[in-house]
Amino acid sequence: MKSVPLFIGSEVYRGSSYGPAHPLRVPRVSTVMDLGRALGWLPAVQYRTSPRAKPAALERWHTPEYVAALQQAEAEGTVTDAIRARHHLGTLSNPVFAQVFSRPATGAGGVMLAAELLANGTSAVHVPGGGTHHGLPDRANGFCYLNDPVLAVLALRRAGMARVAYIDIDAHHCDGVQHGFAGDPQTLLISTHEEGRWPFSGALDDDGGGNCVNLPLPRGFNDTEMRAVLDAVILPQVQAHRPDVIVLQAGADSLDEDPLSRLSLSNRAYIGVLQALLPLAPRLLLLGGGGYNPWSVGRCWTALWATLAGYDIPDELPGEAQAILRALSWGGGGRPPPAPHLLNTLIDPAREGPLSPDLRARIAHLTQRLRA
C-alpha cells in the first residue's frame, strides 16, 4: 500500500517575525497550516510537528563557531560588532530577533525528519518552513540563517538516497546550495531565477563544475515560458540523472504578486512543475523558500500541498478559509490591498504569454551545452 504524503509544520512560525520593517514580517507557514486545517487537508495522520535540530546536527555543514553565535544571539538578543562582521548577524537583511536560532533550527529539524520519513517508506513530504537556500557554512545570507536544503541533501544521503536532484524555482539563485554541492556528480542542481537580482550569481554558463544547470530568467517570465523551460531543460536533466529522490524548492517569490521580484508566474505554473516531477523519482521532498506577499505565498504552498497529497481544490474557497485570507495583512507599509481572487480562491488565473526570443535563445544555448 502506498504511503500517504506527510506535512511537517510548527507553531514557531506563527509567533515569530524578522521585525516590523523586514519582508519576513508576514505570516507564511502558519497560513498554510490554517488553510490546510480549514479545508480538511491536514488530518492528524498526515501532520508531523517539526523537531528543532540540535547543534551537532547543524554542524554537519555549518561551523561550530557560527552555530554557537546563533545560539548566543538568541539568548542575548544582540550581537557584538565582531560577530556581526564575522557571521553577518544583526544586519538589515539578517536581523537578530527573538527566535533567531530556534526558528531556522526548526526548519532544519523538519527536513532532517523528512529524510528519515522518506527513507522509511513515505513517498513525499512537504516542509514549507524549509527552503532557506542562501545560508553559508559560517554566516547568514539573504534572510537565511541556516541552509536547510544542504542539510536535507546530506540527511537524504545518510539515509541511503545517494542520487539527489535539487530543483529550485525561487526568484533568487540558490547560491548557498551551489556552494555546498558544486562539482558533486551525485547531486544535480537546477536553478531558475530572475536575472540581475541578488545574489547576482547563477549565470547561464555557470555549471558549478559540471552538475549545475543555471537559467537566469527575463523580467515578466510567464506560465507559457515556465512550461518551455520545464519541457526543454528541467525534465530531461532530471530524467537523465535518475535520482533516488527529488528535492523541489518552491520559493513563491516568482509569482506575479510578489514585491521582491519582477517575474509573473501564477501558482498554476508551480503546480505544473510539481506534477511533472512527481513520476521521475520514488520520493519527493517539497520545500518552501522565498515569498513575501502573504496572500500569494500562503495560497501557493497550500495548493502545492493539495496537489502532493491528492486533495481536490475547490473553485471557490469555503467561508472559513476565506476568513483566514481576509485576516492577513502586509504588517505595515503602503502596499496595495489584495486582488479579490486572492481572498476567495486558491488557484490563480493562468498567466500565459509569448515565449520571448531572449528566453528561447537561452534555452537553446543551455540545451546545446548540456548535450555536448
Catalytic residues: 134
Bond into 349 cis (ω within 30): no
Q: How far apart are the first and last CA of the chain?
A: 42
Q: Which amino acid is at 172?
A: H
CA distance 253 to 89: 23
CA distance 107 to 130: 5
CA distance 35 to 33: 6
CA distance 159 to 170: 26
Mark out the alpha helices in 159-293 (DSSP H runs).
175-181, 223-229, 235-241, 267-277
DSSP 40-85: T---GGGEEEPPPPPHHHHTTTS-HHHHHHHHHHHHHS---HHHHH
Q: Give Cα separations from 284 to 98, 127, 151, 159, 264 (angstroms).
A: 32, 11, 15, 14, 26
Which residue bears the cell 546536527? 57
Which residue bears the cell 480549514? 38
